[in-house]
Amino acid sequence: GENVEQHPSTLSVQEGDSAVIKCTYSDSASNYFPWYKQELGKRPQLIIDIRSNVGEKKDQRIAVTLNKTAKHFSLHITETQPEDSAVYFCAAYAGFGNEKLTFGTGTRLTIIP
Amino acid sequence: DARVTQTPRHKVTEMGQEVTMRCQPILGHNTVFWYRQTMMQGLELLAYFRNRAPLDDSGMPKDRFSAEMPDATLATLKIQPSEPRDSAVYFCASGSPFDRGQTEAFFGQGTRLTVV
């Protein structure tokens, strides 16, 4: 089955700097890669996703890149702000016939004012 | 504002008791996931359903856990008997086929279970 690894497990950056979180996956059939943000005591919420037919996607200060050959994808947050502090999860989904949505172990991001 | 509804939000029970958690997926979503979240394990997939049929429950301890979808508006996760190590937050999420570009997985607010 699918195995998703996520690094680092914790990350601290100065406000205004960039943060990068990396994930690798094992199932070459995976074709959908969402990123979720979870604030303390709340549910995970989607912040950005990418499908296998594109290599990069941006939404304001957030971007995701995908390298299907190497089976890894990354989340980039630029100009970080205190409200970006949260736990971030990557996930991979293999599609019809193997419809698990498998999550990485999470990255606790702390923005230092 | 469509949302996934989970009940109860909090549950404290004694070891050995039966616990039932309920989830109402978003109307029209045909895929339902159950996840367990602990500090150590992140989001652990327990089971998921497609069109009410269980597709995979390999992540679930079969001797004490069971998951069902009696109808399209209700998914249940049951623990019998409960143990202290089952203490965690249990999330339900629903969605439609992601590979067809339809929708994301929406999470409910979770059930925080404490077994004493």
Model confidence at A98, in pLDDT bands (50, 70, 90)?
Answer: low
Q: What is the DSSP letter of B99?
A: G
Minimal CA–CA distance to B57: which of A100, A113, A28?
A: A100
pLDDT, position B26? 92
- A80: Cβ–Cβ under 8 A, 6 or more apart, which residues? A13, A14, A15, A16, A17, A18, A19, A61, A111
pLDDT, position B96? 78
Pick from B42, B48, B93: which is nearest to A99 by CB? B48
Task: Please give the C-alpha separations between residue A76 and each of A3, A5, A46, B104, in angstroms, as whole numbers.
Answer: 22, 17, 15, 20
Does B91 reach chain A within 8 Å, measured CB to CB? yes
Cβ <8 Å between B104 and A42? no
Count of pairs with CB atoms under 8 A, one residue in A, one in B: 58
pLDDT at A21 over 90: yes
Q: Strand A56-59 to strand A62-67: parallel, antiparallel, or no bridges (unpaired)?
A: antiparallel
Q: How many CB atoms lie within 10 A of CB B18?
A: 11
Q: Which of A78-92, B54-68, B91-105 has the highest mean pLDDT?
A: A78-92
Q: How many CB atoms lie within 10 A of CB A7?
A: 13
Model confidence at A53, in pLDDT bands (50, 70, 90)?
Answer: confident
Shortest distance, CA B48 to any CA of chain A (angstroms): 7
Cβ <8 Å between B43 and A43? no
pLDDT at B102 over 70: no
Shortest distance, CA A31 to any CA of chain B (angstroms): 7
